[in-house]
Structure 1
Amino acid sequence: MGTSEPVSLVGLVDQVVKLVRAGAGRFGYEQTPVMFGLVEGELTLPAGRKGDNYRAAFPDRGSIQTTGQIAELTGYGLAQEAVTAWSERIPDGLNRLQVAAINDHSLLDGKSLLVIAPTSAGKTFIGEMAALKTISEGRKAVFLLPYKALVNEKFEDFSALYGERLGLRIARCSGDWQDQVGGVLRGKYDIAFFTYEKFLSLAVTFPHLLNQIGLVVLDEAQFITEPGRGMVVELLLTGLVSARQRGVSPQLIALSAVIGDTNGFNKWLDCDLLMTTDRPVPLSEGVIDRSGSWTFKDDKGTHTSQLLGRLDIQQRGQKPSSQDVIVPLVRHLVKNGEKSSYFAMRAGLPLAAQNTLLVNLAFRRHRM
C-alpha cells in the first residue's frame, strides 16, 4: 500500500505464502501453499493508494508525537492499566532518549531499533514499552539477558509489576530447575526471559518458538564483541535475521552500552540506530578506603569527604576484606533512598589490595 510503483502479482503471492507458513507455524502446523495456473510474462497490479476506507480500518498512529507525558501513551493503543502503573513508577515522565525512540524511530509502530546509550540512560524502559505494545496486539515478547542472575531479577520485577497488577503471564528460561520451558514452548506466556544460551538452544531445537514471538529485546548487545560469548549473540541474531526469509520477522530492540564505532551493526540487523553518550544521571567515580573516606573527581577537580563513620566499618571475618566496607556502604545508600552498582575486588587478593575498595556509584532516584 502506498507504493508509487506497480506491484508484481507473483512477488505478492510469494509474500503471502511466507506469511501463511509463518502463521501456521504459530499453531504448530507446517503448510506449503501452492499456486495453480500459468502466468506468461510479468503480471502486475496498479500502484496502491491509501484511501478513506484504508485509513478508517488502519488509523495512522505515526503522526502521534509524545511530549514525554506517560498518559499520552494510551494514544498508541497501550492498556490504561499499564500506563497508570508507569505514571506511578515514573512521575517525571519519559526522558529524551525514550521520547526520541517513540517520535523519531517509531518504536511503538513496530520498527526495529538498536539503542546505544550509557548505563542509567533509560534503555530498559524502551524495551518495556515495546513489550506492552506487542502484547496489546495479541503477540508475545521475550527478553534475552547475559546472566541467570539478571533473568531471575527481571522475572521477579516483572512478575510484581506486570504479573500481579496487570495479570500478564511472566516466564523464565535460564537453565535452572524453576524454568518454565514447557509452558513457553506451548505459548503459555506473555513475557519470557531467557539467557542467551538458553534461547539459542531452544530456537534451534524448536524452530516454532520464533513463530510465536512478536518482539525480541536483546539486552547488553555489546556482548557480541566478547571473545567468549560473542559467538552465541551472533548466532542468535543470525537466526533472527535469517528467519525473515521465512516470513518470521518479530520486532527487534537491541540495547547496548556505548561501544564507539557501530561498524554497521544496525545495518546488519536492518534496524534504525538511536545513539547517545549523554548520561542523564550523574556517575560519581572514586575510591573509598577502610576509614570511610570517599575521594572522587568531577569537572571541578578532586574532592574528599567522609562518606561513612569510622565506627561503621568493622571487621566481619577472621581477616579484613572488602565486605567490611560494602555492608555499611549499602546500609548508608539504602537509608538515603539511593540505588547503586558495585564492583569489588575479587576474594583471595593480597591484603594490601583489599584495603582499598574500588566502587562506581551511579546514584539514581528512578531506575528504568
Structure 2
Amino acid sequence: MSHNKFILQRLSIKDETRALKVLLSSIIAIYLSSLTNYLRVSTTVITVGIVFAMLPTVSGARTYCLQRFVANILGAILTFCIGTIFNWNIYSLALICSFNVFIFYKFNLNKTKLSLMSLVSGSLILFFTMSDPSKIIVRLSSILVGSLIAITINELILPINQGFKVEELIFNFSKEAFKITDYILLNISNLDILNLQSLNLYSQAIKPNLLTLDKEAKINSLKNHLKHYKYKINTLDYLGIVCENYYDFLSLISKNLGEFNSLSIEEKLYIKELLSNFTIQHKYLLDNVLNNNDIPVFKLLDIDYSKFELNNSLSVLLLGRVLEYRESLIKLKESIDSIDLNNTYQSVEFFKFNM
C-alpha cells in the first residue's frame, strides 16, 4: 500500500474528518444549486448533504437517505389528501400530524427504517408549500441531490475504513495489554494495583466495531473500499476473541490481586512461564494479521494441570482463563492458515510491536 493511501485510510476514521466532509458537502451543494439557479434551496441541499455525510457508515448513510425520501413522499400524500378535504385550513395541520402518528404505529412503520420525526416534519414543511407544486418538486429534488452528494463523499471521496478502525482498536488494546503483562512478568512475586481502565474501554469497543465491519463489508459501496477485508473478517473475529480472553485473564488477576499474591511462588512462576510464551505467540499472530509478516515460529506450551492448586478456587479460575486464552490462539492460527493474507488490506509502517 502506498504511503498516501495509508494516510487517507487513517484520516477516514478520525473525528476531524467530519469537519472536512461538512466543508465538501456545503461547497458542492452551493455550486450545484447555483448552476440550476436555485440558490434559495441550497440550504436544504446543504443540510441534507451535511447530515448524511456525517453518518459513520455506508449502510447508515444509505438507510437514512432512503428513509428521509420515503418519509417525505408519504407525508406529501397524506398532507395532500387531508389538506384538500379541509380546503387547506390551518387547523387541518393538527389532524395531519395526528394521522401521521396513527398510521406510523397502526401499520408498524416503527419496525421499519422509517422515522416518525421525518414523517411529521416532512408533512409540516409540505403543508405550507402545497399551494405551489413546483416547491414540492424542488424540496424532493433537494433531498435527492443532498443524498447523492453525501453518498459520493462517503463512498468515493472519503470512505470510512471500518476495517482499519477495527485493526487500530485491536492494536491499541494489545499494546496496553502487553504493557500490563510486562509489569506482571517483572513483578510476579508481589503485584501492585493493575489499572485496566483503558484496556476495558478498548475491549468493549472491539466487538461492536467487528459487527459493524461484518455488516459494512457485505455492502457493495461505490468504491468497494472494504473488499480486501472480506477475506479476513473471520480472522479478525478470532482475533477479537483472543483479545476478549486475554482481557478476562488479566481482569481476573486484577480483581483478585490479594489472593493472587498469596498463591505459591511455584504456581505464580508457572503462570509467568505460560503467559510469557502465549504473549510472544500472540504478538507473532497479530503482526501477521495486521502487517502480513511471516510467523517465525508458532509453539504454544502445553498446560500442566498439576502445577495449579486445584483445591484453590482462584487457581481453578486461572486455569480456566489460561485454557481459553490458549485455545483462542490456536483457533486464530488455524484461521490465518486458511486464508491468503496477500489479498488483504495491509497497514504497513503503523501496527508495530516490540517483539
TM-score, L = length of structure 1: 0.21
More helix by share: 2
Higher-Rg member (1/2): 2
